[in-house]
Structure 1
Amino acid sequence: MPSKEVVFYGLMAAIACVTTIATHHRLAVQLFEMQWAQSVHSHTVLDTFHQRVDLRYFAGHVLVIVNIASQCGLTGQQYAGLTQLLAKYGERGLRILNFPCNQFGQQMPHSDGQEMMDHLRQEKANIGDVFAKIEVNGPGAAPLYKLLTRNRSNLRGGKIEWNFVKFLVDRRGQVYARYGAKAEPSALSGDIERLLGEGSK
């Protein structure tokens, strides 16, 4: 039979092993929770008809998230560019999430729902998924936009400066890049190709 000392040290080693495993598991859970809190997929929004949409539905897709306006000097150019992006990359996994916003010069007067859809149809703007009108800055900013504008070391954070600011989000729901209001949607093509390519490996 093993001596009491051998049994004791064996028991202590087993306890240490279990403690280490439990600590690693706890740290892994905490890391996952931190990453999830920073993920676009952790949010729920309303579509243009005010139905709840869990953004986990878009997990596995590359996303462009953009605040749109119907009466901005950039509207025609941006609608056309977004339509072209979706036509080019939609079948490969790109989704465009459009959030109407009236905070900049009152340039999105259209109401949610059918009026919004009729407006986009009239403009021949096949720009993807359309959500309820929101605020993107200030105390009333939508939680999703509070996440998007949070300062990060490798991104230009801070307030949304105007209509049609675009965020590129990877398949895991992490913000990859931000593009200013005047950036043509085609300027996103290289980064979109990169993210779509990563998902196909």
Structure 2
Amino acid sequence: MFNKEDAFHGVMAAVALVAVLYTRRGLQQGLQEMRWRLTIHSLTVRDTYGSPVQLQSFSGQVMLIVNIASKCGLTSSQYDGLRQLMEEYEERGLSILNFPCNQFGGQMPESDGQEMLDHLRKEGANIGHLFAKIDVKGAQADPLYKLLTRQQPDIEWNFVKFLVDRRGNVYKRYGAELEPVALAHDIELLLADASE
């Protein structure tokens, strides 16, 4: 026998379910959009001694973010190129952020802190800001690298470079073997962009 009350409750349950699913979908889309709006400036990293550094402190500067290694075949030329970029552009607003990484053949065995600083001094590598050793790929990747690699996920080797504009948005990614001085044109463009 047809019961109007049961039918009404059934319709109301269906409406409620549709409303819940619609709301859930909207929340998921909103969360995804928020993730895409994140900038580098919204993150905090650790320096080589473990102290927190808010990347907001680099707001208004062009950043070059690099995963460095001490024992890689690319180390000498990359350090030299990064040093040249520092000398040329630091006073105009370029900051180079170096993140040691030991994920590629164990080529960054130095410990954070004094041992890392001693290595850079020995190499004459005045290459910018030094941060704590991190993972740049895989499940344990640092949140910074998760953000940097969201469009091209895999870091292939040491010395992959990311150029970030003054607002904290990733401008471009450069492969490991590209010499840092090859970024000069793009750095000039970002430094000259008055809208930032």
Q: Which runs of 4+ in 1 moved over 6 A?
A: none
1:189 aligns with 2:177: no
Task: Name 1:50's counterpart in structure 2.
Answer: 50
SS class of match (1:96)? strand
Equivalent residue letter for 2:60: G
Counterpart pick for 1:177 among 172, 177, 180: 172
TM-score (structure 1 length as normaliser): 0.79
- Segments of structure 1 that go 5 or more residues without pairing to the other structure are 1-29, 152-156
| Match runs of 1:68-107 below 5 Å | 68-107=68-107
Tell me what 2:119 maps to: 119
Residue number in structure 2 paired with 1:12: none
> How far does residue 199 in structure 1 lie from its aligned partner after superposition?
3.3
Separation of aligned partners in 2, 1:138 and 1:36: 20
Shift in Å, 1:34: 3.4
Contact 1:74 1:182 in 2 (8 A): yes
| Whole-angstrom CA distance in 2 between matches of 1:176 and 1:200 | 14
CA deviation string 1:52-73 (max 9, x = no partner): 0000000000000000000000
1:35 is displaced (CA, Å) by 7.9
Aligned partner of 1:80: which letter? Answer: D
Q: Write the letter of the residue equivalent to 2:102.
A: N
Q: Tell whether the 8 Å contact from 1:171 to 1:199 is kept in structure 2 after alignment.
A: no
1:36 is displaced (CA, Å) by 8.0
Q: Is 1:38 aligned to 2:33, yes or no?
A: no
Match runs of 1:58-69 below 5 Å: 58-69=58-69
CA distance in 2, matches of 1:183, 1:199: 27
CA distance in 2, matches of 1:89, 1:63: 11
State the SS of the aligned residue for 2:193. Answer: helix
How much is the aligned-residue C-alpha RMSD, in angstroms?
A: 1.8
Q: Which residue type is aligned with residue 61 of structure 2?
A: H
**Does structure 2 conserve the Cα–Cα contact (< 8 Å) formed by 1:166 and 1:181?**
yes
Looking at structure 1, the residues matched to 35 and 92 of structure 2 have their Cα atoms a distance apart, in angstroms, of: 25
User: How many angstroms apart in 1 are the aligned matches of 2:91 and 2:195?
Assistant: 13
Distance 1:168 1:83, change over 3 A: same
**1:121-160 correspondence to structure 2 within 5 Å:** 121-151=121-151, 157-160=152-155
Percent identity for Structure 1 against Structure 2? 65
* Alpha-carbon separation, structure 2, partners of 1:59 and 1:35: 19
1:200–1:121 CA distance, 2 compared to 1 (3 A): farther
CA distance in 1, matches of 2:106, 2:116: 15
Provide structure 2 residue ranges, at least 5 long, that are not aligned to the other structure.
1-29
Q: Deviations over 1:34-92 (max 9, x none)?
A: 38842000100000010000000000000000000000000000000000001000000
Indicate how the Cα distance of structure 1 residues 36 and 93 shifts in structure 2: closer, same or farther if over 3 A, else same.
farther
Distance in 2, matches of 1:59 and 1:147, equals: 17
